[in-house]
Structure 1
Amino acid sequence: MTSLRKILLLVLASSCLAIPVSAQEQTGMAVSRADASFGTVRREISIDELGFRRGLEFTGFGGSQTLYFPIPETGLLSATLKLRLRSGSAFRSRRSVQIRIADSIATTRALSQQDEEMAIELAVDLTTVEGRFLEVTIAYSGAVTEDRCLDERVSGDFVAVLPDSGLSLELAPAAIADVRSVLALMPQDVTILAPGEALTETESAAILRIASMLLARNASVSYATYERGGLEEVSPGRDWAEGRIIVATGVDAPANPEDGTSTVSVFDTADGPALLVDGSDPAPGAAFLASRWEALASASRLSVETVTESRPEGTDLSFADLGMNLATQSLVDRAVFDVGFKATNLPAGMQPARLDLDLAIGDDFEETNATIAAFMNGSLLATTVTPGAVPATLSATIPTGLFHQANSIRVVVQRQPLTGDCANPPQSFPVLLLPSSSLSLREGNARPRDFFELTSAFGNGVTIFLARETDDRTVLWPGLARIVADLVPPAAAVDVRFGLPAENETQPFILVSPTLPEAISAPVRLDAGRILVTGPGDTTLLDADGLTRQGLAEIVHTSETTGLWIHPGSDGLAAGPGTAGLDRGNVAFLEQGAVTFAFSTERDRLVEVIYPERTSYLALARQYRPWLIGAGWLILTVVFVLGLSRYYRRRSG
């Protein structure tokens, strides 16, 4: 890994990271930017953007949470922490909340018994700020009385940090002068701008790669267009509330020395700093932004020819390799570790087979054993009992049916405190889920049977075929970008082509088209007319005719490879509220980007697909199976009775 990193650093230093150039050189038509008119930019970073969509909540007279706000390394003029709190208590108590900034106590505030809302505004001392993140810790504590004896189960107290709380930054031009800083500080709401006319294959690949990268980072992505030749750089506004990434080729691209070169540069708009991805082939620039090497983009403009990113290999993958956050916790009676991973984090062709946990638990002077329980996706895998002061291990086999596209692991450590009387309050001890914990892997199914298994097939790259009939990007891009983010690993190459795959296609593919070539086998076909999906008792679950509005996604196969066919419908891929990804099953019906109904034609026995307009003898037999079974028994009974009567007549005669 060290040698690979050195090579990549040398390559990027010699050929990728160019010196800063003027705006005129970046776009070929932008107005020149004067530093005097550039001004400052205000950026509001809420804790909602950090992943705490519902804010923070503490109860039981205790709790803390550390937040990490992104900040620039240079050019930070001021930073103000703005918190909105809501608190209350059912009983009289003494409660307080403490705020620590950069590992120093900034303030402590008392909380009253009555329900109240409180606003806390603290100026950050910039002399204590280091690195690219600002550490803010919110700690809550309290007690009912002055006595130390307390049962927190009946406290009836709470403190909530509302999701619009956050950090307000005042940024100088130097703070947003390079690609890395603009991408790190970009707001959660991002608009991707592309030329208004028909897109090229390389532009489409760049848009999909950028959109899937943003969605994987939990950003909210929208799409807009501009007229070719209409890009013009302006002085940014004061408030930076929306991020923008512009994809351009042709007349909007600068003259590149060689075909296939992509450039990524900082571009100033009226809504704040933006990133411009252009060149004769913008796809490599988009792939660079989606890779981990974007942290090296410390210039205002860089040129990219190709991006190669190493993928995890082997049959064991540690939690450190998966990038899991494993902070130390304090164990009084219960400590919980919640971590997760996606199928896209695993090596190509591999699936998890066993979970191996390593924990370090502080010694309890009362010599009380600790109980460790491991859960995956809500199901209990294994438990064990261990004393403190020794490394604890726990291994469990992962059932095949428990693995999904997105997976959660919960490790619960419990210890019964022996406190005696009120003179001996419960004592906390440190516990840590070690990064050496790992997933043991096995080879996945060579022939994917569920959508999430396509991730293994797409691990070494995927070709996305787009039919010209699906060029309505308002319908296509939102849902398709979500599917790419869910099923295509970040390190996998993404290629876009217009048209249909060949009958003997050998590379895994995603096909977006209203029609499917006859040579490609699919569990559900649309060229057979009306589709009737029935459940138990012949209950009609879906009655569709050509899927003019709904979308359809299903796993398809050629003689050489596996693919995903997406029939977009009129709004099947348009993003809507509650957008859901593809997970279990090999057939899914879509509506506004969400899976409305998914099933497996290989496992499910309660769901049947019938084509009423193309009824075969087998379909008729399935439809009238109860009547046919009854008729068969009746015929057998009649034959049996007639045979007996003939037998007795012969004996009597």
Structure 2
Amino acid sequence: MSPPIRTMVLRLCHLPYPARFRRGLICAALALPLTAFAGVPGDAIRALEADTWLSRTVTLADLGFTAPVIMNHSDSRHEFYLPVPRNVPLADASIAFDSRYIKTEDGRTNLLLSVDGRPAFARRFENGEGEAARALAVERRARASGFVRLGVIWSSNTAQRLCEIDRPLGNALTIAPSTRLSYRYDAAALPTLEDAWVSLPANATILFAANRLDRAAFDAAWRIGVALENGGKRATMRAFPAPGDIIDTRELNVPAGLRQVPAFAALDASVQHRVGSEAELGALLVLGAPAVTADLAVVDAALQARLRSALDALAAQLQDDVDAARAFAAWRASRAPVAGTPLSAKQIQLTLLGGHPVIAIAPDAGAEAAGILSGLWRRTLDSRKVAVRAAMLPDQGEHSATSLSSLSNADSTLDVIARADWTASFPIGAAASDGRAPSELVVDVAAAPGASGSPPVVSVFWNDVLLAARQIEANGRPNRLLAQVPGYALNVRNVLRVSFQRQPVSVDCNETPQGYPVSVLPSSHLRSGAARTDGSFVSLLPLMAGRPQLIVPQSYLLDAGARLGQVVRLAAASGLSPYGAELVLAGKDQAARPTRPFLAMDVKLQGIEPKVRVPAQGHLQIDGREMRWLDVAGVAGLGAAEVIGGGGHDGILWQAMGAPAGSPGQPFVFNRGNVMVVGADGPRAWLDGASPDSDPSEAPGILQKLRRMAASHLLILGFGSCLAALLFFAYLANRAHRTKK
């Protein structure tokens, strides 16, 4: 059988279900001739090239639902948005709904599950408890929204009158965080860079050349990692392995036709494998092994050289087989093009590496990639290759204002029976930059008249801190709420919530309460003012969102594989801007002098004596005002962060107890106190020696207004006084003139 016919047959037989099912007879009929070539390396390589389908699983835990979701009201509804690649058909997609139920109260209790708004499963429960797990099929089609919606309705028909409050019941449904969506998709079908970014898994991997990096590659890698963390994903750093490294090969499946090739034979039937040659690295690339593939890659000359060396070594083992060599050359051109053609300056490209889609980023495009992939301009990435020379947030000047509608995708109009919330979630960088912080919140709302004579109540919360509340007139006209935003309410990720409450009316409890519309008007906005530092972590957030400095030792470049993860976690925790920050490298025993707000890691600062000291590995000291607060030795895996001043600028100094100890594995933020001890599971202890705002009402916005009002009033008063004096003197002169006459 000729190679083109074999390729056609292999592509046909690797089609996903149900197309694969419909063509089962054809594959079966052609299977006999192919068995003659089952041991041919060329056929095996062509089969790997033809199969571009990847398997993915996303759980509720990946989306942040780390605790079970409990539904225990008479009418509980929940909708989960499970991310999938946009505009790409899914294959073999299903949802495993893991849950348990308990029913103790009389009446009908029902569960209704829907997928993308369509009912998929319904069940009635009797008294007792047990499993409520179910597998739900997901339709094979492309989704422009980038989500599969899982709807859950848990309803209990109890003896309750319409006007009574919906109380928690003894009937409950518990949804496990392990509830998951599994699917396959064609990696070659992702149309644009934007689609590739939004389809990244919850734990995305960044690949770079080696543990030893130059400044440009290190700078690009940490910026991309912080952009991922800010987008709610976890960044995993991976250096391309070298001969002698130990890798996990449990998931590898070496085709029978390639087991006669030495590089592939060495990988077969092993669990933990020590890489013996460059050719084995090439074989790992052909097999799509996780150890050599990634979701994003910093493609510099060093990584391209590593890829070429591995593929050239494998090609040398195949050169005696003309058909295998030709098949490998075709695979190399389609599956590893990034190894051959260098990226141009500031370029970002969607390509394939070993069958996996990868966003390849030039080493000089780290800041631009972080800015455009995770920010306002991502929707412009409607191609597979771009050159980005700038991707900054707009600077609105001294009196900047940000519309609330630009911070939220929620509907601005809600029907309210008793209570409803309008929310906006945004990073601190969306409302603060260049030393400016959110200072004043202006919320314009309107409400239609309802059946109750009680006025609706509107409450405004910032990160669950109540900023303002008042009764409004329900006449359809705008009502304005003004609130100052105190520094202690800020966070790296902020949630603004406008809560509406109405008094529901049901005459004699015989009528169904009706909802009446309320709106958050487009004129609502957030004003920013000059950031004020008070020595706390939170007060530094607006400064870190502007143009700060990241100061690390030069030695970090020599151990990038271990250090980059630590840098990414701490930069994300401090709100460091991945596109506005400057990387500063401090030499050995060199004291750094910051010139901007900063995050410094394991370096000395010129002229600064920190309260926190790490005199030796596993030894932690924290000094107080007059005495030492903590002196403990023998601890491991910890690090300490401290707000500190250096060179006239405030920043954060991080000191790890050992290398690379203290790299937190769980996401967290510096949002409390001014000294924090951090372990692998997040903050362990913190101190609050900073002075909080004495009066939130004395925020810069109000003070500036009062000063401007006082200045204008003094000017008017002075002008009026001068005019009165002139009139008085004119009167006296006129009177004296008349007396002389």
Q: Are residue 245 (structure 1) and residue 296 (structure 2) matched?
A: yes
User: Contact 2:432 / 2:542 at 8 angstroms: preserved in 1?
Assistant: yes
Shift of 1:210: 1.8
The answer for the alignment partner of 2:286 in structure 1 is: 234
SS at match of 1:320: helix
Q: 2:155 aligns with which of 141, 149, 153?
A: 141
Separation in 1, partners of 2:152, 2:412: 15
The answer for the alignment partner of 1:419 in structure 2 is: 506
Residue type at the aligned position of 2:658: S
The answer for the alignment partner of 1:516 in structure 2 is: 604
SS at match of 1:48: coil
Q: Are residue 569 (structure 1) and residue 657 (structure 2) matched?
A: yes
Describe the shift of the 1:392–1:540 C-alpha distance in structure 2 as closer, same or farther (beyond 3 A). Answer: same
Q: 1:97 aligns with which of 101, 111, 115?
A: 111
Shift of 1:216: 1.7
User: Contact 1:188 / 1:243 at 8 angstroms: preserved in 2?
Assistant: no
The answer for the alignment partner of 2:210 in structure 1 is: 196
Shift of 1:199: 1.2
Describe the shift of the 1:521–1:322 C-alpha distance in structure 2 as closer, same or farther (beyond 3 A). Answer: farther
Residue type at the aligned position of 1:234: V
The answer for the alignment partner of 1:464 in structure 2 is: 550
Separation in 1, partners of 2:142, 2:491: 43
The answer for the alignment partner of 2:731 in structure 1 is: none
The answer for the alignment partner of 2:58 in structure 1 is: 45
| Aligned-CA RMSD value | 4.1
Describe the shift of the 1:545–1:524 C-alpha distance in structure 2 as closer, same or farther (beyond 3 A). Answer: farther
Residue type at the aligned position of 1:468: Q
Shift of 1:61: 1.2
Describe the shift of the 1:173–1:479 C-alpha distance in structure 2 as closer, same or farther (beyond 3 A). Answer: closer
Aligned ranges for residues 10-159 of structure 1 at < 5 Å? 37-71=50-84, 72-77=86-91, 79-126=93-140, 129-145=143-159, 151-153=165-167, 155-159=169-173
The answer for the alignment partner of 1:381 in structure 2 is: 467
User: Contact 1:259 / 1:281 at 8 angstroms: preserved in 2?
Assistant: no
Q: Deviations over 1:271-322 (max 9, x none)?
A: x54444355766654554444444444545x253523222353432222232
How many percent identity over aligned positions? Answer: 19
The answer for the alignment partner of 1:365 in structure 2 is: 451
Describe the shift of the 1:402–1:555 C-alpha distance in structure 2 as closer, same or farther (beyond 3 A). Answer: same
**TM-score (ref. length: structure 2):** 0.66
Describe the shift of the 1:351–1:112 C-alpha distance in structure 2 as closer, same or farther (beyond 3 A). Answer: farther
Separation in 1, partners of 2:143, 2:683: 45
Shift of 1:258: 8.6
Unaligned runs of at least 5 residues, structure 1: 1-30, 605-653
User: Contact 2:98 / 2:175 at 8 angstroms: preserved in 1?
Assistant: yes
User: Contact 2:535 / 2:691 at 8 angstroms: preserved in 1?
Assistant: no
Shift of 1:394: 2.8
SS at match of 2:571: helix
Shift of 1:73: 0.6
Q: Are residue 493 (structure 1) and residue 580 (structure 2) matched?
A: yes
Q: Are residue 347 (structure 1) and residue 436 (structure 2) matched?
A: no
Q: 1:334 aligns with which of 419, 431, 436?
A: 419
Shift of 1:570: 0.9
More helix by share: 2
Q: 1:543 aligns with which of 626, 631, 649?
A: 631
**TM-score (ref. length: structure 1):** 0.73
User: Contact 2:75 / 2:156 at 8 angstroms: preserved in 1?
Assistant: yes
Separation in 1, partners of 2:600, 2:395: 27
Describe the shift of the 1:121–1:429 C-alpha distance in structure 2 as closer, same or farther (beyond 3 A). Answer: farther
Separation in 2, partners of 1:123, 1:364: 43
Aligned ranges for residues 443-458 of structure 1 at < 5 Å? 443-445=530-532, 449-458=535-544
Shift of 1:393: 3.7
Shift of 1:467: 1.2
Separation in 2, partners of 1:131, 1:339: 19
Q: Are residue 398 (structure 1) and residue 482 (structure 2) matched?
A: no
Describe the shift of the 1:572–1:389 C-alpha distance in structure 2 as closer, same or farther (beyond 3 A). Answer: farther
Residue type at the aligned position of 2:438: P
SS at match of 2:406: coil
Aligned ranges for residues 179-218 of structure 1 at < 5 Å? 179-218=193-232
Q: Deviations over 1:110-169 (max 9, x none)?
A: 333332322333334456955433444333333214975755326332233332224333
Q: Deviations over 1:549-575 (max 9, x none)?
A: 753433444445444332233167633
Describe the shift of the 1:279–1:475 C-alpha distance in structure 2 as closer, same or farther (beyond 3 A). Answer: closer
Aligned ranges for residues 260-339 of structure 1 at < 5 Å? 260-269=345-354, 272-278=356-362, 284-285=368-369, 288-300=372-384, 302-304=385-387, 306-311=389-394, 313=396, 314-323=399-408, 325-326=410-411, 330-339=415-424
SS at match of 1:180: helix
Q: Deviations over 1:77-98 (max 9, x none)?
A: 4543442333333311223233
Shift of 1:582: 1.9
Shift of 1:443: 1.2
User: Contact 1:449 / 1:586 at 8 angstroms: preserved in 2?
Assistant: yes
User: Contact 2:223 / 2:578 at 8 angstroms: preserved in 1?
Assistant: no
Shift of 1:406: 4.3
Shift of 1:424: 1.8
Shift of 1:212: 1.0
The answer for the alignment partner of 1:611 in structure 2 is: none
SS at match of 2:211: coil
Q: Deviations over 1:404-453 (max 9, x none)?
A: 444444443323323233422333344454554332322112x6633333
Unaligned runs of at least 5 residues, structure 2: 1-43, 243-277, 305-338, 693-741
The count of aligned residue pairs is: 566
Separation in 1, partners of 2:138, 2:636: 56
Separation in 2, partners of 1:102, 1:549: 45
Residue type at the aligned position of 1:84: D
Separation in 1, partners of 2:377, 2:47: 30
